[in-house]
Amino acid sequence: MADDQARNLWRAGVSEYLPVEYNKYTADLKTAKDDIAKEADRFVLFRDYKPYIQRFKDILVLGNEILVKVEIEKAKKADSLSEQISSFKTIISNLQKFTLKINEGRLARADLMKADLLLNEVELRYKKGEYAAAEAKIDDLSMYLKSAEDSLSPIIGRYSDRSQVEKWQKWAEDTVAESREKGIIVIVVNKSKRTLSIYRDGELMKKYSVGIGRNGSFDKIHAGDNATPEGKYKITKKLPASRYYKALLINYPSDQDRKQFILAKKKGLVPNKAGIGGLIEIHGGGSDTMTFGCISMENRQMDEIYNMVKVGTPVTIVGAVHLENSISSALGGK
Amino acid sequence: MRYLILSMMVVFMFVGCSSQPTTEMNDAKAAVDAVIAEGAEKYAQVDAQKLNDDLAAAMAEITTQEGKMMKNYSKAKEALVKVKADADTLKAGLPAKKEEAKQSAITSQTDAKTAIDDAKALLAKAPKGKGSKADIEAMKADLKGLDESLPEVQKLIDTEDYSAAIEKANAIKEKAAGVSDQINQAMEKVGAKAEVKK
């Protein structure tokens, strides 16, 4: 019976959940078996098995107690794993949805896919009751998830930064105020909303969907970064026929952009041969495209604004105008 | 004298019948332990489970007989002998089961790779319609994640963890098929729009 119990304890994974208790149990059992073997070697008339009966009974009681304990431990582990699986599912799902909202989402998708595959394995092991193996996979899963979050956190950080958003908000408000005061048309581009708004006399006239740079959620620092610049600009040239239908060239880089570029260069954030870049336009070609940093629109909408604006029309490009924007609130369910 | 002989025969008979089949018990347990140690639970899960159940049933029969006045272990003995024989048979057939599991893992690995390649090929033909550019980039990254997970299947095969390799490969295949489905749906949409435009 004791042998059977020992086998059951081993199969229940006691050595893994309660190693100290299991070692004591196996040591006790071994000693008792060794002693009973010695007893059996004695002359038949001197043999006395009575003390062993009690010893084996005690071992069986200990074994049963350990089995109960291990079942409790397993249940706890199962609950904890179930919670973790549910939590990871939510995190992965939210991150996956978020990555579809920004052009930079691709940077996190591969890691998210790996994390998702591992979560699948964790669930399978959990269902089979292989809790230790499931937990081991969770460590790997967390690593990929962290890597995915690290890819996205600089973006989320910018759009959740109160002072940054307030700065953008002020630029947008100042631009609309200028429109009201001077009775002119102004353009405000909101990158998180992917919209281009036209104001006349401070009133919203039209709003269009736009595409931005491949890394458009970031502020443009240098040539080739595929980021869309943020700042207060003006239209410097109207191009009736450009590579991307009609285009409105803006005065990027501004003085502010130049200062920012020099600072970034000092900090080593700019590749050696990279210049500050230029030729940032609002152009046609479709609002769904990912540009090298320009703002793209549908051609028929480009026709509309091309006729409304003139050289000198203010163009203000901001990331967001509310702290609660589509990027900062994207992981709200996390 | 006659009574003495008779009573000795009766005692002998009872002693003979009442002793536990220790040798058979030890042999059966050792045989089961050996086949489990060889990986029976990994490569022949159902057979291993049956062996465990049969051994447990035989041991239960011994416990039942222990509680009886007139003990008869013949049934338990028979069962234990059968357990040992089954364990030995399973052990002998284990290399073949292992090879079978390995081949299944390799097939699953190939299927997973094919599913990724199919999705990649489909993505290359994906429609460049509205909203598709970012989606294509996202799907490319998804396939990259799947591609980079494939070597893990090989690692599992190398460590002879074939069931885990199959699970992983199947999950990769399923995800890759999911990407293909998305592309097909997008292609169908574009196709439908083109029809309307005509």
Please say if the pLDDT value at position A219 is more than 90: yes
Residue A12 to chain B, least CA–CA distance (Å)? 13
Domain annotation covers residue A324: no
Structure tokens at B150: 């494939």
In a shared domain, residues A98 and A185: no
Please, are residues A221 and A211 in contact by the beta-carbon 8 Å criterion? no
- Kindly state whether residues A175 and A119 are assigned to the same domain: no
Distance from C-alpha of B166 to C-alpha of B102, rounded to nearest angstrom: 9
C-alpha span between A223 and B89 (Å, rounded): 72
Percent of chain A with pLDDT over 90: 59
Measured in residues, chain B has a length of 198
Q: Give B-chain residues touching A112 at CB under 8 angstroms.
A: 145
Contacts of B149 in chain A (CB under 8 A): 113-114, 117
Indicate yes or no: CB of A113 within 8 angstroms of CB of B149. Answer: yes
* Nearest beta carbon to residue A106 from set B59, B138, B171: B138
Residue B137: per-residue pLDDT:
85
Per-residue pLDDT of A305-322, as tens digits, reads 999 999 999 999 999 999
**A209 forms bridges with which residues in the sheet?**
A195
Q: Tell me the backbone φ, ψ of residue A220, rounded to 5 degrees.
A: -70, 130
Q: Does the pLDDT of residue A35 top 70, yes or no?
A: yes
Alpha carbon B163 to chain centroid, angstroms:
6
Q: Where are the domains of chain B?
A: 2-97, 99-197
| Each residue's pLDDT tens digit, A86-138 | 999 999 999 998 898 888 988 999 999 999 999 999 999 999 888 988 998 99
**Interface membership of B151 toward A (CB under 8 Å):** no
The per-residue pLDDT for range B75-125, each reduced to its tens digit, is: 999 999 999 999 999 999 999 989 999 999 999 999 999 999 999 999 888
CATH number at A274 reads 2.40.440.10
Q: Which of B62, B91, B92 is nearest to B74 (CA)?
A: B62
Cβ distance A100 to B138 less than 8 Å, yes or no, reads: yes
Percent of chain B surpassing pLDDT 70: 83
- A134 and A81 in contact (C-beta within 8 Å)? yes
CB of B154 within 8 Å of a chain A CB? The answer is: no
Q: Are residues A130 and A203 in the same domain?
A: no
On whether residue A334 sits in a domain, the answer given is no
Is A56 inside any structural domain? yes
Same domain assignment for residues A169 and A308? yes
Q: Are residues A7 and A147 in the same domain?
A: yes
Q: Does any CB of chain A come closer than 8 Å to the CB of residue B150? A: no
Q: Distance, in angstroms, between B97 CA and closest chain A CA?
A: 21
Quick one: CA torsion of A35, A40, A44, A48, rounded to 10 degrees?
Answer: 30
Q: Which residue of A has its CA nearest to B167?
A: A121
CA dist., res. A82 & res. A290, Å (int):
40
Q: Could you tell me if A302 and A189 lie in one domain?
A: yes
A141-184 pLDDT tens trace: 999 999 999 999 899 899 999 999 999 999 999 999 999 999 99
Q: Are residues A107 and A211 in the same domain?
A: no
pLDDT tens string B37-65: 888 888 888 899 899 889 988 988 888 88
Instruction: Give residues with Cβ within 8 angstroms of A154, minimum separation 6.
Output: A218
Number of Cβ atoms within 10 Å of the Cβ of A157: 12
B129, B140, B168 member nearest A106 (Cβ): B140
Would you call A110 and B132 a contact, using CB atoms and an 8 Å cutoff? no
Indicate whether A187 and A147 sit together in one domain.
no
Chain B residue whose CA is closest to A211: B131
A27 and A146 housed in the same domain = yes
Range of the domain at A281: 163-318
- In a mutagenesis test of the A interface, which of B19, B149, B161 is the best target, namely the one with the most A β-carbons within 10 Å? B149
What pLDDT is stored for residue A325 in this prediction? Answer: 87
Q: What is the pLDDT of residue A8?
A: 79
Whether A138 and A175 map to the same domain: the answer is no
Report the residue of chain A nearest B149, measured CA to CA.
Answer: A114
Taking contacts as CB-CB distances below 8 angstroms, the residues of chain B near A1 are: 63
Q: Is residue A327 part of a domain?
A: no
Respond yes or no on whether ipTM tops 0.85. Answer: no
| AA letter at A185 | I
R_g of chain B, CA atoms, integer Å: 31
Q: Is the dihedral of CA A8, B56, B40, A2 positive or negative?
A: positive
Whether A172 is covered by a domain: the verdict is yes
**Does the pLDDT of residue A16 top 90, yes or no?**
no
How many separate domains does chain A show?
Answer: 2
Q: Is B10 a residue whose pLDDT tops 80?
A: no
Q: Which positions in chain A touch B141 (Cβ < 8 Å)?
A: 105-110, 113
Confidence of residue A333 (pLDDT cuts 50, 70, 90): very low
Tell me, what amino acid is at B144?
K
Whether B148 has its CB under 8 Å from any CB of chain A: the answer is: yes
* Residues A171 and A263 placed together within one structural domain of the fold: yes
Instruction: Say if residues B54 and B26 touch (Cβ distance below 8 Å).
Output: no
Which residues on chain A are in Cβ contact (under 8 Å) with B130?
286, 288
Higher pLDDT, B42 or A232: A232
**Which residues in B lie closer than 8 A to residue A290 (C-beta atoms)?**
133-134, 137
Kindly report the three-state secondary structure assignment for every residue of chain A: CHHHHHHHHHHCCHHHHCHHHHHHHHHHHHHHHHHHHHHHHCCHHHCCCHHHHHHHHHHHHHHHHHHHHHHHHHHHHHHHHHHHHHHHHHHHHHHHHHHCCCHHHHHHHHHHHHHHHHHHHHHHHHHHCCHHHHHHHHHHHHHHHHHHHHHHHHHHHHHHCHHHHHHHHHHHHHHHHHHHHHCCEEEEEECCCCEEEEEECCEEEEEEECECECCCCCCCCCCCCCCCCCEEEEEEEEEEEECCEEEEEECCCCHHHHHHHHHHHHCCCCCCCCCCCCCCEEECCCCCCCECCCEECCHHHHHHHHHHCCCCCEEEEECCCCCCCCCCCCCCCC
Under a CB-based contact definition with an 8 Å cutoff, are residues A12 and A70 in contact? yes
Interface of A with B (CB under 8 A): 1, 3-4, 7, 99-100, 103, 105-114, 116-117, 120-121, 124, 211, 286, 288-290
- Is B175 an 8 Å CB contact of chain A? yes
